[in-house]
Structure 1
C-alpha cells in the first residue's frame, strides 16, 4: 500500500474495495452527482444528522440522509412544476389580452365604419357640415329623402358648423324625393341661422339640380354638368312582338284606364294626351321651384327649362350656378382651412348588403324599375 493510500486511510477514507455494500455508490451513479451531492444536499444531510438520536447506528443515519435527499428532490420538483404552471398562466393571460385587444380594435373599426353617427356635434373646431348626395335619388337608394333630411338637420343643429353644404354628385331621380329635400332646405334657409351651400362635383342635374336650387349658393367646377330641368317617362311597346310569337296577353282591371301604360297594349291618343298633361304639370312644378330658389339670378332664356344639360361654366352665364369652385375652396373661404365634417347618416351594413344584392339580381333578371315612372333624371 502506497503512502498516498495510507494518508487517505489516516484521514478516514476507505477504498471501494474496503467499503461495505451499503457504503458503496449505487451502480450508474457518479460520486459527483449534483442531485446527491452539493451544498443543498449537505445542508439536508446535516439537518438529518442533527435531528438523529445519539444512539443511531450508521444504517439509520444513512436512511435519514436518503430521506432528506428525497425530500429535497420533492421540493425542487414541486418548485419547478409551480414555476411552469405560473409561466403557463402568464402565457394564457397575455394571449387572452392580445386576442381581446385585437377584437376590440376590429369592433371599433367596424363601429366607426358602419354604425357610428357621422358628424360629431361635439367637435370644437369650426367646420363645414357636409351632407353627401351621391347617386340616383330614390326612396330605395342611399340618396333618399329621409337620410338626406336627417343629415341636413344634424349639420344645421351643430353649434360649430359654419355652413351646411350639400355635396352633390347625382344625375337626379324621383320627383317626390327631390321635392321633399327641396322643401326641407327652403325651411332651414328661411330661418337664416347659417348659409346652405350646394357644391356640385361631376354632375348635379335634374332632380339633383332641383335640390341644389334651394340652397343659398350653388358652386360648381367649370366641367360639372348642371341643369336638365325637365321630366322624363320612358317605356316600351311590345304589342306587335307578342302577336308575332303567338303570346296572348291577359289583363283584367277595374277602371277602364288602369292599364293605360301597359307595354303590351297600344297607347291611344287620349291616354297619351292625359299622360303628357301629367308630365307637363310635374315639369311646371320643377320650373316654379327652381325660380323660387334662384330668384333673379336666373337668366330669362327659355332653353334653361328645356331639359338641356349645361357645363358649369355655361351654367354660370345662365344663372344656374353662382361661382366656380370646389369643396376645399368653399371650406377655406368660410373657415379658413379645408375642414369639414360629414353629417350624412351611416348606412345599415345589412340593409346596404341586401339592397345591393337585390339591385344586382333585378338588373340581371331585367326586373329593375323605378318606384315612380316619372323621373327628374338626366339621360
Structure 2
C-alpha cells in the first residue's frame, strides 16, 4: 500500500494579522501622501517667492530710474562712473557710458559732468567710441564742461576716455597713464610634444589659423600682428595729444607713451592731469554745483543675475586658449 503524502494545509490568516497588515498599509499610504503634499507646498512656495521677486524688480526698478529727477535746487553736477574693464557687455561699455553722457547733456539742470574713473582700461574700440562722443557733445554744448576725475586707477583705455575731457583731476596717489597696447597669449607647442598630442587644424586661407597657440610662431604673422598693435598705439597717442593739446609738457618725452604709469603727483608736472582733487571737490570748487546726481546706467538685479547665468562659454574658452584682441594698457 502506497502512502500518499499530502502537504500540510496553509494556516489561514487570523483576523488579528489582517488588521495589522491593513494598519501598516494605511500608515505607508499616509506617509506617501504626506510627502506628496509637502512637495506640492514646497513647489508652490518656491514659485510664489520667484514671482514675488520678479514683481519687486518690475515695480521698483522704474522708481530707481526716477530717483535722479527728484532733486532740490536749480542745478547740479552729473556724475557718471567709469568703473571696471571697458568692454562690450560690461558695466563700463561704450553703450552704457554714451547713454549716460547723452542723458546728462540733455538735462537742463546739469551744469557740468564728472566722469569718475576707476578702471584699468580695455577695448580700444569701446574707449575710442566714448572719446569721440565726449568731444561731439562738448562741441554741441560748449556751456557744459566735462571733467574726468581719477580715483584709484585711470590707465590705458580709461585714460584714453579721460583725455577727451575739458580737465582731468586725480588724487596724488592715483595711478595715471599706461598709454600703450597689449595683446597677450600662450604657446602650448612644447607641452603638446611632451604629451604626444597632435594638432589637426583644417583651414582655407594661409593665415586663417592666425597666431594659433598650438602651432609654432610664424615670423611673418608675428611681424604683421606687431604692426597692428603699433597702429593702434599711434591712434591712442594721437587722441591723447589732440585731447590734451599744449597741456602735455613734453610730447616727445621718451617714456610718456611707453605704457608706464605715474602717480597723480608725478602726472601733474607731465601735463597728464590738470590738478589734484576728487569728485566732490571738483563739483564744489570747479563746477560750482556741489550736489551730485548719478547718471550712471545701472543694471537691475535681474540683469546681473541673468548675465551670471548666461556667461559665454566660448569667451571663457578663448581666454583659456590664450588669444585675446588688442587691449589698451
Aligned residue number for residue 83 of structure 2: 134
Aligned residue number for residue 147 of structure 1: 96
Aligned residue number for residue 220 of structure 1: 170
Does the aligned pair in 2 maintain the 1:118–1:342 contact within 8 Å? no
**How far is 1:296 from its partner?**
0.4
Aligned pairs for 1:170-319 (under 5 A) are: 170-191=119-140, 192-300=142-250, 301-319=253-271
Unpaired runs of 5+ in structure 2?
A: 1-51
Higher relative contact order (Cα pairs below 8 Å, separated by 6+ residues): 2
Aligned residue number for residue 45 of structure 1: none
**How far is 1:118 from its partner?**
6.2
Matching of residue 375 in structure 1 with residue 324 in structure 2:
no
Does the aligned pair in 2 maintain the 1:127–1:335 contact within 8 Å? no
**How far is 1:112 from its partner?**
4.7
What is the TM-score normalised by the length of structure 2?
0.76
Does the aligned pair in 2 maintain the 1:119–1:344 contact within 8 Å? no
**How far is 1:115 from its partner?**
5.6
Unpaired runs of 5+ in structure 1?
A: 1-102
Supply the distance in 2 between the matched residues of 1:206 and 1:189 (Cα, whole angstroms).
22
| RMSD of aligned Cα (Å) | 2.8
3-state SS of paired residue (1:119): helix
Supply the distance in 2 between the matched residues of 1:354 and 1:268 (Cα, whole angstroms).
41
Does the aligned pair in 2 maintain the 1:200–1:219 contact within 8 Å? yes
What is the TM-score normalised by the length of structure 1?
0.66
**How far is 1:279 from its partner?**
0.3
**How far is 1:140 from its partner?**
1.9
CA deviation profile, 1:294-339 (whole Å, cap 9, x unmatched) = 0000122131100001101111011000000011101111465631
Correspondent of 1:322 among 262, 274, 277: 274
Aligned residue number for residue 306 of structure 2: 354
CA deviation profile, 1:326-357 (whole Å, cap 9, x unmatched) = 11101111465631100112214332223234
Which structure has the larger Rg over C-alpha atoms? 1
